[in-house]
Amino acid sequence: MNRDLTAHLSPLLAALLLAGCSMIPTYERPAAPVPQVFPLAADTPEQRSAADTDWRAFVQNPQLRTLIERALANNRDLRVATLNIERVRAQYQIQRANQFPTINAAASGNRQPDGNGGIQSSYSVGLAMSAWEIDFFGRLGALKEAALAEYLASEQARNAAQTSLIAAVASSWLSLQANEALLAITRQTLASREDSLRLTKLRFDNGATSALDLRQAESLAATARAAFAQQQRARALDANALNLLVGDSVPAELLQVAEGDAALLADVPAGLPSDLLTRRADILQAEQALIAANANIGAARAAFFPRISLTASVGTASSELSGLFKDGSWGFTLSPQALLPIFDAGRNRAGLEAAEATRDIAIAQYEKAIQTAFREVADALAGRATLADQLQALRDQVTAETDRLRLAELRYRSGVASFLDVLDAQRSLFAAQQAEAQTRLALQQNRVALYAALGGGWQE
């Protein structure tokens, strides 16, 4: 019996050995449609890439590190991206399982009249293999490769989400620090202008100054009150944004204001544009989507060829339950089938054209991802090249405006200058202090943007 079974299965084994023919086009990574070097990049190629810098080494402030750790644990968008990996992984396992036969245990029993007043019985027990497609032309293999690429793309999507989350938490926290500084500047300015208003009103009541000076002082005090309310609102909005990003209420101690210009973030080298192709998660995601589209072309091509399937069963049958599993009751069936498309009203041709168009779209999206990444890095490098000089110039301006206000107040008390000179100096100093704080924020946020644009933040 075993010899007969082997003889019948030999053609099947031969078909399995021939199976695995792939019609997937050979994949070639498209050339990067960007220059070979970044503009304004002073780094040498030998420097370590920013993508190799762990985010814990990049973020040097302990409060911000704690916030990012909490966000990585609790942020709902990142959690969805992580769970999506599990969903796509299961889909890949389904496609992989389609390459293997499905074997079920089967048992049946039947009793019916035999036409002579008696009862005819039949019983069977065995194993049954449902129609199993032998992947002779690689259709199932192509679908499995596409599913694998989609799974890898979902992993890169999660990595890209982590990079974006780290950058968003850092930028929001830095914005909160800037608003705290602006709030302190505004509070100090408001107190100074209210003191000036009280003094001006007293001088006006005694006939020592004009109504114009009084109205100017009132206007500046009102402007400071409006700015103070605006900064309070901006700080509250930043705190709300952090709560959403972290996924929980942020303790007050983690919102501590950094003192002065203490180093919050490490500097990162730019490297070369070619580094982005293997280090930036969203580019890797786009490439995996391209690989999946390329594999689907193989499945569409295989649809033009015969689809070979096999149905088989082995077991025991008897007219009595007691006769099951006895010698002579065993048997098997083997039913191969081949279906060759002859007329499908152009369905297979349209499927192939759709797969090829999808591949061309994926190429364009991949190239766009590279161009977008290059532009983001170039923008951040432009900021790095100019923001430090801008900040230093604004610091010099604040120093000059502070001294100007001191001199204007001195001249006003001496009766040499009008009160309008004092009010103008106050207004200019407040604007310069605001610009300095905002530029300091832009410098720090630019460093975060450069780190994220270079693909940092997701490597373990």
Could you read off the pLDDT of 404-448 as tens digits, one per residue? Answer: 999 998 998 888 888 788 888 989 999 999 999 999 999 999 999
Q: Which structure tokens are listed for 316?
A: 């025991």
With a cut of 80, say whether residue 214 has pLDDT above it: yes
**What average pLDDT does this structure show over 105-127?**
79
**What average pLDDT does this structure show over 58-74?**
92
For residue 246, the number of C-alpha atoms closer than 13 Å in the C-beta half-sphere is: 24
- The residue among 1, 310, 311 whose CA lies nearest residue 128 is 311
Average pLDDT, the chain: 85
Helix (H) or strand (E) holding 338: strand 330-339
Of 47-61, 72-86, 254-268, minimum mean pLDDT range? 254-268
- Residue 423 is assigned to a structural domain of this protein: yes
Residue 124, phi then psi, degrees to nearest 5 = -150, 145
- Residue 9 is assigned to a structural domain of this protein: no
CATH number for the domain that contains residue 265: 1.20.1600.10
Give DSSP secondary structure letters for 107-173. EEEEEEE-SSSSEEEEEEEEEEEEEEEE-TTSHHHHHHHHHHHHHHHHHHHHHHHHHHHHHHHHHHH
- Residue 219 is assigned to a structural domain of this protein: yes
- Residue 384 is assigned to a structural domain of this protein: yes
Q: What is the DSSP letter of 53?
A: S
**What average pLDDT does this structure show over 227-236?**
93
**What average pLDDT does this structure show over 83-111?**
86
Of 116-130, 273-287, 303-317, 378-392, minimum mean pLDDT range? 116-130
- Residue 380 is assigned to a structural domain of this protein: yes
Which structural domain, as residue segments, surrounds residue 76? 25-101+138-306+365-453
**pLDDT at residue 7, rounded to an integer:** 45
Per-residue confidence band for 81, with pLDDT thresholds at 50, 70 and 90: very high
- Residue 89 is assigned to a structural domain of this protein: yes
- Residue 40 is assigned to a structural domain of this protein: yes
With a cut of 60, say whether residue 101 has pLDDT above it: yes
- Residue 128 is assigned to a structural domain of this protein: no
Q: Count structural domains, the chain.
A: 1
With a cut of 60, say whether residue 357 has pLDDT above it: yes
- The torsion of the CA quartet 84, 85, 91, 97, rounded to 10 degrees, works out to -160
With a cut of 80, say whether residue 14 has pLDDT above it: no
